Amino acid sequence: MTITAVPAFQHRTVLLDEAVDALELSGDRANGIYIDGTFGRGGHTRLILSRLGPQARLIAFDKDPQAIATAEQIQDPRFTIVHDSFATMADALAERGIGKVDGILLDLGISSPQVDDAARGFSFRNDGPLDMRMDTTRGQSAAEWLAMESVETLEKVIRDYGEERFAFQIAKAIVARREIEPISTTRQLAGIVAGAVKTREKGKDPATRTFQAIRIYINKELEDLEAGLSHAYDCVAPGGILAIISFHSLEDRMVKRFFASKANVPQPDRRLPIRAVDLPQPELKLLAKIKPSDAEVEANPRARSAVMRVARRLGGAA
């Protein structure tokens, strides 16, 4: 298979075939109910629909109004789009009279159009308004947050969500600059960070970790993931699949620990008189950890950090 490079503002879905293959959309499962928790620009959704049977249902979620507009162009009676976070999936299913689903896919990355569009404020590579919201119809922009937050909170966010060792220096520099002028553009913020960070890994812009940290905080990405993992586990039926693609260590660590907590159960002392049927049983079976191929990374460098973890729900307690 030939993989071509990705033009600007065009999104290439990471681990496209691998993720959809993981859902096992064959046989009776082809007519099941599935969730695509992050529609993005619809790459996974369209491939899932192409493999589903006529009685199947696919419910997708996204917070981005532009993603919703793209999703609404899909004319397929099996498909439903929800303008909200995947963390609300339990309520969305209940509203539609759905109990359990057969598979859930979460692609936690932001899409290339979001990154490449300077007006969204996600990237420091092109100057634009410092927004960073996934959902531009609600919530506080990055510029509004930077204008009022304390140096202590700024430091904590940049350190914890960006894993930035110069968090204190960056936070102080932000507070000092906002006393002189509003920090309203991506280029302003990138310049402030560059002035505060004295050393950086080769090939990485000094602003990378700070921009990541602020984006994660503004969009409550880790809070959504924590809630989403719990709801996904509750919503998937025994035998169903959970497939989650993450793009940085904070996300992947959360997914790994959650899966492990359901797959690895403490075993009592074997000398105790306990029947095998009464022993604690695992509730998830770990199936795979998959990374993009060298060919995919070469064609789409943004895929480099992606990791997909796949697990099957067993018959344990809900």
Query: pLDDT, tens digit, for every residue of 22-34?
Result: 999 999 999 999 9
Q: Which of 188, 192, 225 is nearest to 89 (CA)?
A: 225
pLDDT of amino acid 53: 97
Burial 131-143, CB ≥16 within 10 A → b, else e: bbbbbbeeeebbb
Least reliable range by pLDDT among 71-85, 133-147, 201-215: 201-215
Second-level CATH architecture of 16-112+221-313: 3-Layer(aba) Sandwich (3.40)
State the average pLDDT over residues 300-311. Answer: 94
User: How many Å apart are CA 281 and CA 293, to the nearest integer?
Assistant: 35
State the average pLDDT over residues 155-175. Answer: 97
C-alpha separations of 123 from 68, 132, 177, 235 in Å: 22, 9, 20, 35
Give the residue with greater pLDDT, 266 vs 256. Answer: 256
pLDDT of amino acid 7: 38
How buried is residue 272: exposed, middle or buried, by Cβ count under 10 Å (0-12/13-18/19+)?
A: exposed
> Tokens 């879905």 — which residue?
13
Q: Does residue 114 have a pLDDT over 90?
A: no
> What are the boundaries of each domain within the chain?
16-112+221-313, 136-218
Instruction: List, for residues 130-145, the tens digit of each pLDDT value.
Output: 999 999 999 999 999 9
Counting every residue written for the chain, the total comes to 318
CB 34 within 8 Å of CB 103: yes
pLDDT of amino acid 171: 98
Least reliable range by pLDDT among 33-47, 96-110, 189-203: 189-203
State the average pLDDT over residues 117-142. Answer: 91
Instruction: List, for residues 219-263, the tens digit of each pLDDT value.
Output: 999 999 999 999 999 999 999 999 999 999 999 999 999 999 999
Q: Give the E-state strand segments of the chain in sequence order.
A: 33-36, 57-62, 79-83, 101-107, 236-246, 284-290, 307-313
Which residues participate in the annotated binding site? 42-44, 62, 86, 107, 114
State the average pLDDT over residues 70-77. Answer: 97
Q: Does residue 6 have a pLDDT over 90?
A: no
Q: Which of 311, 310, 302 is nearest to 114 (CA)?
A: 302
pLDDT of amino acid 111: 77
Least reliable range by pLDDT among 1-15, 147-161, 213-227: 1-15
DSSP secondary-structure letter at 315? S
User: How many Å apart are CA 198 and CA 190, to the nearest integer?
Assistant: 14
Instruction: List, for residues 54-64, the tens digit of each pLDDT value.
Output: 999 999 999 99
Tokens representing 111?
């899409």
C-alpha separations of 120 from 110, 203, 206, 238, 311 in Å: 12, 24, 20, 40, 34
Which residues participate in the annotated binding site for S-adenosyl-L-methionine? 42-44, 62, 86, 107, 114
Sign of CA dihedral 298, 300, 305, 309: negative
C-alpha separations of 40 from 90, 95, 154, 223, 306 in Å: 20, 23, 29, 19, 16
3 state DSSP class of 262: helix
Q: Does residue 121 have a pLDDT over 70?
A: yes
- For the chain, the maximum distance between any two Cα atoms, rounded to a whole number of angstroms, is 72
Share of the chain above pLDDT 70, in %: 91
Q: Do domains 16-112+221-313 and 136-218 have the same CATH topology?
A: no
CATH number for the domain running over 136-218:
1.10.150.170
Q: Does residue 318 have a pLDDT over 60?
A: no
Q: Does residue 205 have a pLDDT over 70?
A: yes
